[in-house]
Amino acid sequence: MRLGEPGSVTADTVHAQAAEHGLLDAEDVIVLAGRDYSRIAAAVWPGARTPLVGSRGIGEQQQRLARIAALGMAAIGAAQSHPRSA
């Protein structure tokens, strides 16, 4: 299933789930997803950090995740990207 197809996740769905779990006002949101899914999350959390946006495929995403696992939050800051600018 791809975004936009019937039954796929929407910003409204994510918003409802965030509200249900008390996460709408979360201050530090990190979205580990590619560009399209990050855009949906950004509709709910405009300030979300999206360190995987801009990767050129699953291999690069895995490399970024390994770096984040090794270096922690410092790696997320270095890989920061905003879905609206991608």
Q: Summarize pLDDT for 20-77 with one digit per residue, the tens.
A: 999 999 999 999 999 999 999 999 999 999 999 999 999 999 999 999 999 987 877 7
Q: Is residue 59 part of a domain?
A: yes
Any domain includes 2: no
Residues 49, 76 contacting (CB under 8 angstroms) = yes
Confidence category of residue 85, pLDDT binned at 50, 70, 90: very low
Asked, for residue 3, whether it belongs to a domain, the answer is no
In sequence order, the 6+-apart residues with CB closer than 8 A to the CB of 2 are: 8
Task: Read off the pLDDT of each residue in 9-18 and give the average, rounded to a whole number.
Answer: 97
Which residues fall within 8 angstroms of residue 68, CB to CB, at 6 or more apart? 51, 75, 76, 79
Domain that holds residue 27: 11-85
pTM of the complete model beyond 0.85: no
Q: How many domains does the chain have?
A: 1
Q: Which amino acid is at 65?
A: L
The CA distance from 64 to 29, in Å, is 17
